[in-house]
């Protein structure tokens, strides 16, 4: 990547960071183009070409995603207040837009979120943030650490990734009932298959939360497990809030491992996430690290 291209990407990333942190502010085309230091006459096309969404559409999705977080988390704000925060003048207009995108009314989503539909609805937003503008990692971004074994509560997902939202919903429900706050108990995801295997039925991942408390038998099939200790190559995701860490996984396996002279251990690559598991936190908040176990 040339210095000019790195500078261009840096300016565009600055725009995303600004939008994340100023969703209640003025985010019209002129204001956002100033953040990137680009001409407003060309910025609309530049943004759309880079991210696959117009500035207006991107901001709409960012505000709608925040609104879904507020509803699902049991935020005390009323639907009317959440609608205003999302940039709508009336709750009816917000409800129509919300139902059109997520297939549920705001009140229905607050009571029983459909996370499968949620994942599909914000796919373009995820693409804009993680797939159309890849971060370039280097060997210096990876550190080797000796990590301690971590006891966890674990829920296995086996089968088509399209149904992962249901597993996440069950995991979040158990976690809340167990009183394991994301602020004090990190979330782990053990990636036992590729993100998009040739046969979707082969997708496999474990959802885990760090805890040493006894795990009682339960209908949700949550059980006790352990993230093993040992040497690991660790890569912090540049976009920690991303739902897609496949670029980081690919870098570790395709680029870092062959050049390092290291050998991978017989345990899958996994992530550790602070704060929360999708989809409960603000867009820019989570921090994620990838761990590749080494011999």
> How far apart are alpha carbons 251 and 4 in whole angstroms?
23
Judgement on whether residues 82 and 164 belong to the same structural domain of the protein: no
Judgement on whether residues 280 and 181 belong to the same structural domain of the protein: yes
Last-in-domain residue among 111, 130, 149: 130
Last-in-domain residue among 85, 101, 130: 130
Determine the structural domain holding residue 125 and report its residue range. 3-130
Judgement on whether residues 110 and 26 belong to the same structural domain of the protein: yes
Judgement on whether residues 14 and 97 belong to the same structural domain of the protein: yes
How many separate domains does the chain show? 2
Give me the mean pLDDT over the 182-193 stretch: 87
Judgement on whether residues 8 and 27 belong to the same structural domain of the protein: yes
| Residue 246 binned pLDDT confidence (cut-offs 50, 70, 90) | confident
- The reported pLDDT for the residue numbered 164 is 86
Judgement on whether residues 184 and 124 belong to the same structural domain of the protein: no
- The reported pLDDT for the residue numbered 261 is 92
Question: Model's pTM, two decimal places?
Answer: 0.65
Judgement on whether residues 149 and 8 belong to the same structural domain of the protein: no
pLDDT in tens, 31-70: 898 998 888 888 888 888 888 888 888 999 999 998 988 8
Judgement on whether residues 106 and 148 belong to the same structural domain of the protein: no
Judgement on whether residues 109 and 145 belong to the same structural domain of the protein: no
Higher-confidence residue: 241 or 222? 222
């Amino acid at each position: 990547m040339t210095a000019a291209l790195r500078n261009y990407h840096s300016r565009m990333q600055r725009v995303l960071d600004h939008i994340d942190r100023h969703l209640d502010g003025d985010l019209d085309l002129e204001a956002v183009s100033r953040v990137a230091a680009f001409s407003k006459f060309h910025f609309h096309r530049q943004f759309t070409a880079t991210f696959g969404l117009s500035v207006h559409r991107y901001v709409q999705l960012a505000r709608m995603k925040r609104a879904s977080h507020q509803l699902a988390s049991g935020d005390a704000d009323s639907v009317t207040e959440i609608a205003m925060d999302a940039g709508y003048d009336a709750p009816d207009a917000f409800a129509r837009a919300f139902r059109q995108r997520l297939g549920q009314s705001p009140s229905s989503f607050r009571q029983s979120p459909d996370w499968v539909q949620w994942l599909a609805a914000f796919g373009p937003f995820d693409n804009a943030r993680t797939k159309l503008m890849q971060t370039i990692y280097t060997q210096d971004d990876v550190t080797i650490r000796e990590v301690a074994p971590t006891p966890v509560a674990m829920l296995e997902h086996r089968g088509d990734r399209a149904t992962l939202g249901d597993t996440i919903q069950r995991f979040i429900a158990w976690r809340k009932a167990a009183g394991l706050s994301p602020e004090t108990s990190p979330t782990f995801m053990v990636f036992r298959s590729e993100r998009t295997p040739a046969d979707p039925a082969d997708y496999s991942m474990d959802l885990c939360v760090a805890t040493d408390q006894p795990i009682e038998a339960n209908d949700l099939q949550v059980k006790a497990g352990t993230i093993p200790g040992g040497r690991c190559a660790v890569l912090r995701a540049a976009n920690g809030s991303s739902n897609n860490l496949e670029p980081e996984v690919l870098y570790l396996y395709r680029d870092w491992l062959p050049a390092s002279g290291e050998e991978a251990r017989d345990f899958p690559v996994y992530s550790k996430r602070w704060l929360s598991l999708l989809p409960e936190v603000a867009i820019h908040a989570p921090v994620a690290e990838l761990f590749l176990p080494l011999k």
